[in-house]
Structure 1
């Protein structure tokens, strides 16, 4: 029987990395230079007590927040936001939306972009018209993605679940262009069998490299010229953009 330690899970690795970073920041620079845990070769590395305790606290906090099930798109659902877990309140720059609760990292980057383009190109949003994380109890189907911080509902009062045809043709063209710009990593609830035209959610899981690639592209400014972004209106009827949007719409409708 091998005595090799069990491989560290992705979540465990991230928790330990976060704790190491936090603990390292708390150690004075001069102390870090003489502490064996920092000076040793990787094979001799030993976590100092402060790091071990930080990891234990982070794991305990994370365990308390997990709902014990995945959302429809494969992400961990959490029972609360802003409690030190993966979901926190973020502003949507350039809009009145200052309280969007989303999953930090790539999901935040992508979903905030969706909300910004919606605000600038479809309808100006008012405070409270973009809803993110929602407690998991009672959620069914794609709406469960809200509980993992990987979905938003935009103007839910204007687009009630089960109701079709809430968008004018030009608004729908912009919506399709937004989805195509994101290479299909976001899906619109209007294409689902249980129609919810207010719902937008990640269509990929946490290990899908497409999500990381799209988020990095958005952070770098996307395919637009310097200074342009979600506040700059694009020509959604340009032939190439329209073709890409229509092709994605066909694929996503077929997958419903």
Structure 2
């Protein structure tokens, strides 16, 4: 078992032990469904750009997800840099990815919510979409949510999580800003520097370190989630 695997085990054990000490039920995901309204039925996306402002692609490149042995189709450049970072950290810190766990670019224009159009531009990924479907909230364990919040804070608003949407989709992560936004470029540049520097980036951080927890909680307050 490597250090990150031990960390996952200890985080889970600590959460359960803490709940037991307080006489609370074991900490497990409590998924609740938010029923889709009639105006959220499937429709056809007809624009030339996805909801986040990126150009819709007829095809997208295949990008390896470091450490997992798997890959995903995404737009190139900054979009791939941001979303691959999310996938890597999920793999290292939440659970090892298996075949077909991550989906990206698709060509079907059928969407149920506008954010699903971002798959058409290769600027969104779904991690285990069958486990975390549209309209269901509370599918993550508390320690998994800590990691997700740390990732979002680290990306400083350049990536949004579907768990924060009015109609949630906890499998969904998307580039939240347009292709020319300076934050997209700046955060992607930071991630590339980390990726090329030993000891930095995905696989090297501890989302449970007190300073990082404080930063993540401050980011939640600023972003209103």
**TM-score, L = length of structure 1:** 0.65
Distance 1:103 1:179, change over 3 A: same
Q: Which runs of 5+ in 1 are unaligned?
A: 1-66, 82-86
Task: Report deviation, 1:248.
Answer: 2.3
Residue equivalent to 1:69: 48
Q: Distance in 1 between matches of 2:53 and 2:172?
A: 17
1:157 to 113, 130, 137: 130
Q: Distance in 1 between matches of 2:52 and 2:200?
A: 31
Residue equivalent to 1:235: 206
- The range that moved more, 157-166 or 235-244, is 235-244
Distance 1:235 1:93, change over 3 A: closer
Secondary structure of the 2:56 match is strand
Q: Distance in 2 between matches of 1:157 and 1:114?
A: 18
- The range that moved more, 67-76 or 195-204, is 67-76
Residue equivalent to 1:220: 193
Residue equivalent to 1:193: 166
Alignment of 1:4-83 (within 5 A): 68-78=47-57, 80-81=58-59
Task: Report deviation, 1:110.
Answer: 0.9
1:38-67 deviations in Å (ceiling 9; x for gaps): xxxxxxxxxxxxxxxxxxxxxxxxxxxxx7
Residue equivalent to 1:96: 69
1:8-44 deviations in Å (ceiling 9; x for gaps): xxxxxxxxxxxxxxxxxxxxxxxxxxxxxxxxxxxxx
Alignment of 1:125-140 (within 5 A): 125-139=97-111, 140=113
Q: Which runs of 5+ in 2 are unaligned?
A: 1-45
Residue equivalent to 1:15: none
Secondary structure of the 1:110 match is helix
1:104-131 deviations in Å (ceiling 9; x for gaps): 0011111111000000101111011110
Q: Distance in 2 between matches of 1:247 and 1:68?
A: 36
**TM-score, L = length of structure 2:** 0.74
Between Structure 1 and Structure 2, whose CA radius of gyration is higher? 1
1:144 aligns with 2:117: yes
Secondary structure of the 2:125 match is strand
Q: Distance in 2 between matches of 1:141 and 1:90?
A: 25
Task: Tell me how many residue pairs correspond in the alignment.
Answer: 179
1:170 aligns with 2:143: yes
